[in-house]
Amino acid sequence: MLVTGLEILKKAREEGYGVGAFNTNNMEITQAILEASEAKRSPVILAMSEGAIKYGGGYLARMVIEAARDARVPVAVHLDHGSSYEAVLRALRLGFTSVMIDKSGEDFETNVAETKRVVAAARAVGVSVEAEIGKLAGVEEHVAVDEKDALLTNPREAQIFAERTGIDFLAVAIGTSHGPYKGKGRPFIDHARLKEIAELLPGMPLVLHGASGVPQELVERINRAGGNLKGAQGIHPDDIRLAIQGGISKINTDTDLRLAFTAAVREVLMEKPEIFDPRKILGPAREEMKRVVMERIELFGSAGRA
């Protein structure tokens, strides 16, 4: 069933578990996310970036929303990293139940003003809004405190931002970054900063972008099957558990699905050179992504919460 993002995340924050926001770009990814969520009886967020909407068109967006409606668990369809008011309006028109406006690259006042406009539009049609404050960048442990401060979310600023904009959930920068290269060894996460933010914003669901685990087993399989992803590194499961305890409710995952997809496709094509039926190539990829989503759901603690 299709619900708003806030409906899913308010309960998650109150009860102290996390919900995955998994990025989709096609039918097989959508099916993998929904089948895994149904198998685990977990609420879920289907995220589509502007890039995904451009790639698949309104046609893909409508298919994703239809699939969410048919699902036997609560599903929100969410615009990931909306870059403008216009992009948000397009998503609202398509029927998304949650949107992100990402003006984190602008100065504080512009971020507030643009986010407020989006909140007014989304509120009018009952859609939830996420915004971001701070810069998502892999931050090394040894980096100087004032350098970290310049990039990562300032707790007091986060509180003022949330009050002034009226957003429903807030993405924070605490050391994670997008993609498969998040730092050497175990990437640094600023749990103390997260604790401060959560204390200043009681009840507000917080969002962790760049949260993929980058399972080394998948990286090795890709590299063995002709890929080149040397040095790929993700967020340790213990850091995800700690972050959820610290107030993170929405955990964005795209890279892990891309890795699962690529590992399965590379292996099938390498091991079965006689195959040319797309279903025999994409089917195993769907299964591999489903396995990854089920593992993430267990890690987030959202299994059985639907």
- Is 78 a residue that touches Zn ion (CB under 5 A)? no
- Is 253 a residue that touches ligand 13P (CB under 6 A)? yes
- Is 52 a residue that touches ligand G3H (CB under 6 A)? yes
- Return the amino acid letter for 28: E
Q: What is the DSSP string of 112-134?
A: HHHHHHHHHHHHHTT-EEEEEES
- Is 153 a residue that touches ligand 13P (CB under 6 A)? no
CB 172 within 8 A of CB 158: yes
Binding span for ligand G3H by CB under 6 A among 7-15, 45-53, 112-120, 190-198:
45-53
| Per-residue binding letters, 7-26, with ligand 13P (x by CB under 6 A) | ----------------x---
Beta strand 75-82 pairing with 248-253: unpaired
| Per-residue binding letters, 173-212, with Zn ion (x by CB under 5 A) | ------------------------------------x---
CB 48 within 8 A of CB 23: yes
Q: Residue from 6, 33, 170, 211 that binds ligand 13P (CB under 6 A)?
A: 211
CA distances from 5 to 88, 96, 128, 172, 252 (A): 15, 10, 6, 17, 13
Q: Which of 50, 44, 47 has the alpha carbon at shortest distance from 24?
A: 47
The smaller minimum CB distance to ligand 13P, of residues 20 and 155, is found at: 20
Q: Is 80 a catalytic residue?
A: yes
What is the distance of C-alpha 87 from the center of its chain? 18
What is the distance of C-alpha 112 from the center of its chain? 22
Binding span for ligand G3H by CB under 6 A among 47-55, 66-74, 106-114, 153-161:
47-55
- CA 216 to CA 260: how far, in whole Å? 11
**3-state DSSP of 38-88:** HHCCCCEEEEEEHHHHHHHHHHHHHHHHHHHHHCCCCEEEEEEEECCHHHH
- Is 179 a residue that touches ligand 13P (CB under 6 A)? yes
The smaller minimum CB distance to ligand 13P, of residues 4 and 212, is found at: 212
- Is 296 a residue that touches ligand G3H (CB under 6 A)? no
- Is 212 a residue that touches ligand 13P (CB under 6 A)? yes
Judged by the rule CB under 6 A, the positions of this chain that interact with ligand 13P are 23, 80-81, 178-179, 209-212, 252-255
Judged by the rule CB under 6 A, the positions of this chain that interact with ligand G3H are 23, 49, 51-52, 80-81, 178, 254
